[in-house]
């Protein structure tokens, strides 16, 4: 096969994350991991590839994700595989497969990693995107809902996000939702023709999805449709009231948004979302909800109610102030071959002590220019004379001040300047 010599670029809708930008990603993930730890969540890593039917069954056959957006392909043995478009179905699969229901207490699992959806490319949307998410499996308690929501707000705050709004809703359960959906279907019949094409289809196949529609002209009609909160059964109403009470206890502010039904079929009772003003129309930073029947629909013999969320990490990183990238502590300028070998050992010992060190070869003038461009705080000049005398010239780049230091004095100097 002959390959043309054109440049190969990253696949459309994907991107490279480069330093120092990746520092922001790591900072957000560090904060998230610390919060997960505090709430007793453990990390789960599931495969990127799953059998296609996991998502067809777990996410819902009439969702945009499953209908239009999955990366699905036939493996060489003919089985149909899909790059995970979200991770809740995979986590529940793993929960069932490894009998995590037999472990003590509520299973609290978190994940950080890439998901894949073939969406129309637009600003801030990627076909490989990253989610930070968690699932609490094995409890129906509304207090767990509130704790999960509190935790996610904690993560956003520690990541540095400000000016966000928490939206909550209840979407009912298998008792009350079917009746509500029928009411919705009936109410849609006379008005469906005036709605957008997607809504006309949804009015028949999945009326709840109509409530999600973002088309401006549809909004006055949708606003007049029956409100799900007027149609909850007693158990769902009691649950929702308790969730709100627990959120009030914790001093968490929220807005009840009855039209928020979320894009995935498995949600029931509590759903929530956090929106952020800084991102225009596409402003949802995270979404989550309860999914008490999901494990059973994936074959679990045990009732395994759960609640979870996923944060859009791409958007979160974009929305928080950039971190100061960690500066280079020291640039070493070895003058000549013996000095280069000496410098390598100096650098190794300083690096073991936690300093970030770069060795630059070349003329001293060029090295000093490079050290400035790299943002090095100090440059250490190492020549034959310095090695013989055991004293080196340490130059502070910001001030230009230069002093003589012994080998043992270098690390303390770097450390003192850092603090």
Give the binding site for Zn ion (CB under 5 A).
172-173, 175-176, 195-196, 199, 213, 215, 218, 233, 236
66 vs 199, which CB is nearer to Zn ion?
A: 199
Q: Closer to Zn ion at the Cβ: 218 or 296?
A: 218
Return the H-helix or E-strand segment holding 220.
Answer: helix 219-223
Cα end-to-end span (Å), the chain: 58
- The minimum distance between CB 85 and Zn ion, in angstroms, equals 22
Q: Contact, 168 vs 256, CB < 8 A? A: yes
Q: Which residue's CB is nearer to Zn ion, number 80 or number 194?
A: 194
Please classify residue 226 by burial: count the beta carbons closer than 10 Å to its beta carbon, then call 0-12 exposed, 13-18 middle and 19+ buried. Answer: middle
Q: What's the number of CA atoms in the CB half-sphere (13 Å) around residue 408?
A: 0
> Apex CA 311: angle with CA 310 and CA 317, to 5°?
160
Beta carbon nearer to Zn ion, 184 or 195: 195
Nearest in space to 67 (alpha carbons), one of 89, 42, 85, 45? 85
Cis peptide leading into 292, omega within 30 of 0? Answer: no
- Closest contact distance (angstroms) between CB of 37 and Zn ion is 35
Alpha carbon distance 327, 322 (integer Å) = 14
Residue 142 beta carbon to Zn ion: minimum distance, rounded to whole angstroms? 13
Beta carbon of residue 234, minimum distance to Zn ion (angstroms, whole number): 8
**Shortest Cβ 233–Zn ion spacing (Å):** 3
- The nearest distance, CB 279 to Zn ion, in angstroms, is 22
Nearer to Zn ion, 120 or 352 (CB): 120
Contacts of 53 (CB under 8 A, 6+ apart): 80
Sequence-distant (6+) residues with CB within 8 A of 336 are 383, 384
Residue among 109 and 195 whose Cβ is closer to Zn ion: 195
């Amino acid at each position: 096969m002959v390959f043309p010599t054109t440049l190969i670029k990253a696949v459309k809708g994907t991107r490279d994350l480069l330093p120092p930008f990746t520092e922001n990603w790591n900072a957000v993930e560090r904060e998230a991991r610390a919060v997960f730890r505090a709430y007793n969540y453990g990390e789960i890593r599931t495969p990127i590839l799953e059998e296609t039917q996991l998502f067809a069954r777990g996410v819902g056959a009439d969702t945009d994700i499953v209908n239009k957006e999955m990366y699905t392909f036939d493996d060489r043995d003919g089985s149909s595989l899909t790059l995970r478009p979200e991770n809740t179905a995979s986590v529940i699969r793993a929960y069932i497969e490894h009998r995590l229901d037999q472990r003590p207490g509520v299973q609290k699992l978190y994940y950080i990693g890439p998901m894949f959806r073939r969406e129309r490319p637009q600003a801030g949307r990627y076909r490989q995107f990253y989610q930070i998410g968690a699932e609490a499996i094995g409890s129906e308690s509304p207090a767990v809902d509130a704790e999960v929501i509190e935790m996610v707000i904690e993560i956003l705050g520690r990541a540095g996000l400000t000016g966000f709004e928490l939206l909550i809703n209840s979407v009912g359960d298998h008792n009350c939702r079917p009746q509500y959906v029928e009411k919705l279907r009936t109410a849609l019949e006379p008005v469906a023709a005036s709605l957008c094409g997607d809504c006309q289809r949804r009015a028949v196949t999945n009326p709840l999805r109509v409530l999600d529609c973002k088309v401006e002209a549809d909004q006055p009609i949708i606003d007049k449709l029956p409100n799900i909160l007027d149609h909850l059964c007693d158990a769902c109403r009691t649950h929702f009231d308790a969730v709100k009470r627990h959120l009030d206890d914790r001093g968490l502010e929220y807005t009840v948004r009855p039209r928020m039904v979320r894009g995935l079929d498995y949600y029931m009772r509590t759903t929530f979302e956090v929106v952020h003003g800084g991102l225009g129309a596409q402003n949802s930073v995270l979404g989550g909800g309860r999914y008490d029947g999901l494990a059973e629909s994936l074959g679990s013999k045990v009732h395994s109610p759960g609640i979870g969320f996923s944060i859009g990490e791409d958007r979160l990183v974009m929305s928080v102030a950039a971190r100061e990238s960690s500066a280079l502590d020291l640039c070493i300028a070895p003058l000549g071959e013996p000095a280069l070998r000496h410098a390598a050992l100096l650098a190794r010992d300083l690096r073991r002590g936690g300093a970030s060190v770069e060795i630059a070869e070349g003329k001293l003038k060029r090295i000093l220019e490079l050290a400035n461009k790299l943002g090095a705080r100090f440059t250490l000049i190492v020549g034959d004379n310095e090695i013989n005398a055991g004293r080196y010239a340490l130059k502070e780049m910001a001030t230009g001040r230069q002093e003589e230091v012994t080998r043992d004095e270098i690390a303390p100097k770097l450390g003192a300047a850092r603090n």
